[in-house]
Structure 1
Amino acid sequence: MRAPVFYGWIIVAAGFVTMAVGVNARTAFSLLFPPILDEFGWERGVTAGAFSFGFLVSAVFSPLVGRLMDRRGPRVVIEMGVLVMAAGLMLAPLVSRPWHLYATLGVLVGGGANCLGYTGQSLFLPNWFVRRRGLALSLAFSGVGVGSIVLLPWLQALIARAGWRAACWALAFLVLGVLAPLNLVLKRRPEDLGLRPDGDVAPAGTAAATRTNVVDAAWAAVDWTLARAIRTSRFWWIAVAYFFGLFAWYAVQVHQTKYLVEVGFSATHAGWALGLVSLFGVPGQIVLGHLSDRIGREWVWTVGSLGFVLCLLALLALRRAPTAPLLYFMVASQGMLGYGLTSVIGAIPAEIFEGRHYGSVFGTLMLTAIGGGAAGPWVAGALYDVTGSYTPAFSIAIAGSVLSALAIWLAAPRKVRAVGHSRQSPRN
Structure 2
Amino acid sequence: MNWAARRLGGRFHYGWVVVAVVFFVLLAAAGTRATPSVMMIPLEHQFGWSRATISLAISVNIALYGLMGPFAAAAMQRFGVRPTLLTALVTMAAGVALSSMMTHPWQMILVWGVMVGGATGVAALSLSATIVTRWFTTHRGLAMGILTASSATGQLVFLPFLAAIAEKYGWQPVVFVVAAALAVVVLPVILLLPERPANLSLRPFGEAHDAPVAPPAPQQNPLKIAFDALFSASKTRDFWLLFFSFFICGASTNGYVGTHLIAMCGDYGMTEVQGASLLATMGIFDLFGTTLSGWLSDRFNSRVLLFWYYGLRGLSLIYLPHAFGIDFFGLPVFAVFYGLDWIATVPPTVRLATDVYGKERAPIVFGWVVAGHQLGAAFAAYGAGLLRSSLGTYTVASMISGGLCLVAALLVLRINRRPRAVGVQPAA
Question: If the length of structure 1 is used for normalisation, what is the TM-score?
Answer: 0.86
- In 1: Cα distance, 2:157 partner to 2:118 partner: 24
Show CA shifts across 1:342-384 (max 9, x none): 3334333122212433343222222212111111111111122
Shift of the 84–384 alpha-carbon distance from structure 1 to 2, 3 Å rule, reads same
- In 1: Cα distance, 2:349 partner to 2:51 partner: 30
Show CA shifts across 1:221-241 (max 9, x none): xxx943221111111111111
Shift of the 388–44 alpha-carbon distance from structure 1 to 2, 3 Å rule, reads same
Show CA shifts across 1:223-268 (max 9, x none): x943221111111111111111111112111000110121232322
Q: Tell me by how many angstroms 1:322 deviates.
A: 4.9
Task: Please give the residue correspondences for 1:345-364 in structure 2 after superposition, counting only pairs within 5 Å.
Answer: 345-364=349-368
Percent identity, aligned pairs only? 24
Shift of the 191–345 alpha-carbon distance from structure 1 to 2, 3 Å rule, reads farther
Does the 8 A contact of 1:137 with 1:344 survive in 2?
no
Show CA shifts across 1:156-209 (max 9, x none): 1211222110010111011112x21122332444344343332445149x9xxx
Which amino acid in 1 is paired with 2:402? I
Shift of the 191–28 alpha-carbon distance from structure 1 to 2, 3 Å rule, reads same
Does the 8 A contact of 1:70 with 1:359 survive in 2?
no
Which amino acid in 2 is paired with 1:405? A
Task: Please give the residue correspondences for 1:305-384 in structure 2 after superposition, counting only pairs within 5 Å.
Answer: 305-319=310-324, 321-384=325-388
- In 2: Cα distance, 1:414 partner to 1:258 partner: 44
2:189 corresponds, among 183, 195, 198, to 183
| Map of 1:233 onto structure 2 | 237
Shift of the 163–330 alpha-carbon distance from structure 1 to 2, 3 Å rule, reads same
1:410 corresponds, among 408, 414, 425, to 414
2:305 is equivalent to residue 300 of structure 1: yes
Q: Tell me by how many angstroms 1:79 deviates.
A: 1.5
2:8 is equivalent to residue 5 of structure 1: no
| Map of 2:46 onto structure 1 | 39
Which amino acid in 1 is paired with 2:133? P
Which amino acid in 2 is paired with 1:77? T
| SS in structure 2 at match of 1:96 | coil
Show CA shifts across 1:7-40 (max 9, x none): 1111111122112221122112211111111211
Task: Please give the residue correspondences for 1:17-166 in structure 2 after superposition, counting only pairs within 5 Å.
Answer: 17-166=24-173
Show CA shifts across 1:17-65 (max 9, x none): 1122211221122111111112112221111111101122334433322
- In 1: Cα distance, 2:44 partner to 2:349 partner: 33
2:259 is equivalent to residue 254 of structure 1: yes
- In 2: Cα distance, 1:368 partner to 1:355 partner: 20
Which amino acid in 1 is paired with 2:74? R
2:176 is equivalent to residue 169 of structure 1: yes
Q: Tell me by how many angstroms 1:415 deviates.
A: 7.5
- In 2: Cα distance, 1:304 partner to 1:412 partner: 18
Q: Tell me by how many angstroms 1:409 deviates.
A: 2.0
Aligned length: 397
- Between 1:58-67 and 1:72-81, the stretch displaced more is 58-67
Which amino acid in 2 is paired with 1:286? T
Does the 8 A contact of 1:314 with 1:326 survive in 2?
no
| SS in structure 2 at match of 1:115 | coil
| Map of 2:222 onto structure 1 | none
- In 2: Cα distance, 1:338 partner to 1:150 partner: 17
Gapped regions of structure 1 (runs ≥ 5): 207-223, 417-426
- Between 1:259-268 and 1:189-198, the stretch displaced more is 189-198
Shift of the 6–153 alpha-carbon distance from structure 1 to 2, 3 Å rule, reads same
| Map of 2:273 onto structure 1 | 268
Does the 8 A contact of 1:51 with 1:377 survive in 2?
yes
- Between 1:6-15 and 1:334-343, the stretch displaced more is 334-343
Q: Tell me by how many angstroms 1:413 deviates.
A: 7.5
| SS in structure 2 at match of 1:264 | coil
Name the Cα RMSD after superposition. Answer: 2.4
Does the 8 A contact of 1:349 with 1:362 survive in 2?
yes
| SS in structure 2 at match of 1:294 | coil
Show CA shifts across 1:97-118 (max 9, x none): 1111111222222222211122
Does the 8 A contact of 2:243 with 2:368 survive in 1?
no
Gapped regions of structure 2 (runs ≥ 5): 1-5, 213-227, 421-427
| Map of 1:15 onto structure 2 | 22
| Map of 1:245 onto structure 2 | 249
- In 1: Cα distance, 2:327 partner to 2:270 partner: 9
Does the 8 A contact of 2:40 with 2:51 survive in 1?
no
Structure 1 runs of 4+ off > 6 angstroms? 413-416
| Map of 1:210 onto structure 2 | none
- In 2: Cα distance, 1:346 partner to 1:123 partner: 10
Shift of the 356–141 alpha-carbon distance from structure 1 to 2, 3 Å rule, reads closer
Does the 8 A contact of 2:69 with 2:124 survive in 1?
no
